[in-house]
Structure 1
Amino acid sequence: MAGRIIEWNMVEPPRKRTKTPRAAIGLAALATAGALVQVGLLPAMLGLAWLVASAVAYLMYWADKAAAGRGARRIPENTLHLAGLLGGWPGALLAQQQFRHKTIKQPFQVVFWLTVVANLGLFAWLAHSGMAAALTG
């Protein structure tokens, strides 16, 4: 074996596929909100607000991933979490899967899923208590 050259493969190993179908969960959440609006269980303004928040969160993740690739200034993680907490988590899930962004970092994911639970709790309370109807007129 003396004199044999060993070649090192510098290619990054393939990432494991996530067990969570992020895009499917995000799309199902938005579809459920749309269905609730259609049957009158959710005010249209609240459904629209959730959709807009999701679009904003999606764009924020896209911009953060692009900035990471360029080595430019990033969007703070707390800002991404706030977007999710305010209803943008379905769009964030879509972006996480599409851009493969923020899916491996476990501390981020723990806080992210806590914001999802908190948003769903608030969403359910607003819808169930009648506050959503009062807020939207």
Structure 2
Amino acid sequence: MKFVFLYLVIVNYIAFSLFHLDKERAIKGKRRISEKNLLSVVAFGGTLGAWIGMNKYRHKTKKMSFKLWFYGILIVQLLFFFAFYKRKFFI
């Protein structure tokens, strides 16, 4: 369980940092981090860090296609979490 917690801390820190970096690059007109890469980090568990980064830096908050993918991933993650929790709780 400690490994899972440590993993989630690291992946959420990476997600937060990537949103910050991408926002800085957008402001400076430099090469950006692809939405595919940002969403991949979200899918691997960085949802909270990404959400905090999105809101803190006001990045990707108005792009509807990105938000649909983001919240779709969040819903799938929540479904898996509750399915796992319920299964573990009742066994």
For Structure 1 versus Structure 2, the TM-score category normalised by the shorter chain is 0.7 to 0.9
Alignment gaps of 5+ in structure 1: 1-42, 131-137
What is the match of residue 48 of structure 2? Answer: 90
Larger Rg: 1
The two structures have a TM-score, normalised by structure 1, of: 0.59
Aligned length: 88
Q: Which segments of structure 1 move beyond 4 Å, counting only runs of 4 or more?
A: 125-130
Change (3 A) 1:48 1:125: farther
Q: Which residue of 1 aligns with 2:72?
A: 114
Bigger helix fraction: 2
Alignment of 1:1-137 (within 5 A): 43-129=1-87
Q: Is the 8 A contact 1:95 1:101 kept in 2?
A: yes
Q: Which runs of 5+ in 2 are unaligned?
A: none
Alignment RMSD (CA, Å): 1.6
Distance 1:86 1:126 in 2: 17
Tell me the CA shift for residue 120 of structure 1: 2.4
CA separation in 2, counterparts of 1:123 and 1:50?
13
Given that 1:86 and 1:119 are in contact with CA atoms closer than 8 Å, whether structure 2 keeps it comes out as no
Deviation at 1:100, TM superposition (A): 0.4
State how far apart, in whole Å, the 1-side matches of 2:60 and 2:42 are. Answer: 13
